[in-house]
Amino acid sequence: MTVKPEVVVVGAGPAGGLAARQLARKGHTVLILEEHKKVGQPVHCAGLIGINGLHENGVIPKSKVIIRRVRQSIFHAPGGGQLVLDKGEPHAYVLHRDRLDQQIVQEAEAAGATVQLETRVTRCKREQNGMRVTIRERESKRDLHAQFVVNAEGVRARLAQDQGLPRPKRDYMLPALQYEVTNVALPPDAVHLYFNSALARGFFAWIIPLETNHARVGLASAHRQIRQALDKFLIQNQLLSGAKIEKRYGGIVYAGGPSSRTIAPRFVNIGDAAGQTKATTGGGVVAGGACAIMVASNISNALQNGSYNHRDLQRYERRWKRSWGRQLQLMAYLRRFVNTLENHELDQLFEKLQASKAREVIQRRGDIDHQGRLITSALTSPVLLQSVLKLLFSKSRFLPKILRG
Ligand SMILES: Cc1cc2nc3c(=O)[nH]c(=O)nc-3n(C[C@H](O)[C@H](O)[C@H](O)COP(=O)(O)OP(=O)(O)OC[C@H]3O[C@@H](n4cnc5c(N)ncnc54)[C@H](O)[C@@H]3O)c2cc1C
């Protein structure tokens, strides 16, 4: 790009790609910098993404991006109990995640954004009229200048610190491992989630159907020995008997809740870098994408106004916190509460859920992305509320941890 970009976007993940696409559609000059050779790779994702949420973000995945659509979520308790939620129609896509990221970035390019691969941003520094962005391209290093930096560098968020912004909390960065397996016969439209504090403390294990006879099997956990845990899960789970591993992926799932501050003068953290993930499931494609779209509109206003006014970014911070922040925070409380439960307590909670009206509420109102509303309406069931309060009371020593993280 010979023209000075108005906005530099760090990272070509879904958050960076969507921010760039929206800014370019408003006619701004945008440069996306991505450290890898290819957008979307390496893959670190199960690719289970809410249909409504993705569409609300203006992303209609092309047919080559979609593997299948799922209708049922089957939650497994440690003792074997199950909770089946079936919305009667598909609610989530199973996607090729690398192709999704590529589609979004191609849409950004079609709108006029420029993408530069194999370029790592090493530093961002505020100057009088903008930001100086230091980049490393293969062997060389140089500086660029932009009016704004949108930092969508993912969960490690190294650039945030120089701007005085909090990074995602280390204690909630959970190592994850996922296998693509073949030779399995699974119902095609159900995903399975396994809660068990011995297998996956602090998170869960999953099985997601892919094409015929294929599945993604993974887990994330606060225990460090995830490989042994996943291998054991693969051997012991009846749905997976005879499974053969074809591919292995690693990654970090973030389950720590949204960051309290995401803006600095001329600099914004979005996506995983801002903790904009659901702490219940680790999913961040929809929430991060929605915040990316919001920030693009506020930055566009700021650019149109000419002179820099920090209020434009402050408006963005208030907007995303109102629409997503509270829900993400509620999910973080729920995650930290569930993390305190031992297996027998998880079994009890599953039983209460199964027996109470809450199951119907979840089934009716459940939304894979907007879980905040769901949590509050599920707790209107007296049976469930009573058992949650009882468990909470017995865990009162954990309350500071649940409330503050
Ligand atoms: C095992 C696993 C399974 C998951 N499953 C799901 C799921 O099913 N559904 C879901 O919604 N979410 C899932 N997630 C979470 C999801 O992957 C993230 O929430 C999402 O990728 C966040 O998007 P992002 O754009 O913020 O960051 P990322 O997708 O992490 O993108 C950041 C990009 O920035 C680049 N980058 C980083 N630093 C620099 C730098 N200094 N200079 C240049 N480029 C840089 C990186 O290379 C990367 O391409 C999963 C995560 C894991 C680990």
| 8 A C-beta contact, residue 276 and residue 155 | no
Q: Is the pLDDT of residue 18 over 60?
A: yes
Distance CA 325, CA 16 (A): 19
Is there a single domain that holds both residue 323 and residue 204? no
Residue 122 lies in a domain: yes
Residue 200 lies in a domain: yes
Q: What is the reported pTM?
A: 0.94
In the predicted model, what is the mean pLDDT of residues 221-245? 94
Residues 6+ apart with CB under 8 A from 163: 124, 126, 264, 267
Per-residue pLDDT at 355: 76
Residue 335 lies in a domain: no
Q: Of all atoms in ligand 1, which is nearest to the CA of residue 220?
A: 1
In Å, how far are 157, 259, 322 from 310, measured between CA atoms? Answer: 22, 19, 19
Output the domain CATH number for residue 207: 3.30.9.10
Is there a single domain that holds both residue 300 and residue 324? yes
Three-state SS at 234: helix
Q: Report whether residue 36 contacts ligand 1, using a CB cutoff of 6 Å.
A: yes
Is there a single domain that holds both residue 16 and residue 114? yes
Q: Report whether residue 217 contacts ligand 1, using a CB cutoff of 6 Å.
A: no
Q: 270: closest CA among 280, 259, 279, 281?
A: 259
Q: Report whether residue 12 contacts ligand 1, using a CB cutoff of 6 Å.
A: yes
Ramachandran region, residue 271 (left: φ > 0; alpha: ψ -120 to 50; beta: rest): left
The domain total for the chain is 3
Is there a single domain that holds both residue 229 and residue 104? no
Instruction: Say which residue, 355 or 146, is predicted with more confidence.
Output: 146
Residue 150 lies in a domain: yes
Residue with token string 């996922």: 178
Per-residue pLDDT at 387: 67
Structural domain including 25 reads 7-45+98-168+260-330
Residues 6+ apart with CB under 8 A from 314: 263
Is there a single domain that holds both residue 297 and residue 364? no
Supply the mean pLDDT for the chain: 91
Instruction: Say which residue, 81 or 1, is predicted with more confidence.
Output: 81
Per-residue confidence band for 2, with pLDDT thresholds at 50, 70 and 90: very low
Domain termination residue (choose one: 273, 298, 330):
330
User: Where is mean pLDDT largest: 157-171, 344-358, 387-401?
Assistant: 157-171
> Is the preceding peptide bond at 42 cis, omega within 30 degrees of 0?
yes
Q: Report whether residue 109 contacts ligand 1, using a CB cutoff of 6 Å.
A: no
Is there a single domain that holds both residue 388 and residue 270? no
CA of 129 to the centre of ligand 1 (A): 31
Is there a single domain that holds both residue 264 and residue 225? no
User: How does pLDDT run across 306-353, given as a tens digit for each residue?
Assistant: 888 899 999 999 999 999 999 999 999 999 999 999 999 999 888 888
Q: Report whether residue 136 contacts ligand 1, using a CB cutoff of 6 Å.
A: no
Residue 2 lies in a domain: no
Is there a single domain that holds both residue 194 and residue 274? no
User: How does pLDDT run across 59-73, given as a tens digit for each residue?
Assistant: 999 999 999 999 999
Q: Report whether residue 369 contacts ligand 1, using a CB cutoff of 6 Å.
A: no
Q: Report whether residue 17 contacts ligand 1, using a CB cutoff of 6 Å.
A: no
Per-residue confidence band for 376, with pLDDT thresholds at 50, 70 and 90: low
Domain termination residue (choose one: 330, 348, 370):
330
Domain termination residue (choose one: 195, 220, 254):
254
Residues 6+ apart with CB under 8 A from 123: 132, 133, 134, 159, 162
Give the DSSP H or E segment for 97: helix 97-110
Is there a single domain that holds both residue 185 and residue 84? yes
Is there a single domain that holds both residue 356 and residue 218? no
Instruction: Say which residue, 294 or 375, is predicted with more confidence.
Output: 294
Output the domain CATH number for residue 148: 3.50.50.60
CA of 120 to the centre of ligand 1 (A): 15
Q: Report whether residue 104 contacts ligand 1, using a CB cutoff of 6 Å.
A: no
Q: 16: closest CA among 291, 375, 300?
A: 291
User: How does pLDDT run across 72-121, given as a tens digit for each residue?
Assistant: 999 999 999 998 888 789 999 999 999 999 999 999 999 999 999 999 99
**Pocket residue to mutate for ligand 1, from 272, 320, 368, most atoms within 8 A of Cβ:** 272
Is there a single domain that holds both residue 107 and residue 128? yes
CA of 250 to the centre of ligand 1 (A): 12
Is there a single domain that holds both residue 231 and residue 103? no
Q: Report whether residue 40 contacts ligand 1, using a CB cutoff of 6 Å.
A: no
Per-residue confidence band for 201, with pLDDT thresholds at 50, 70 and 90: very high
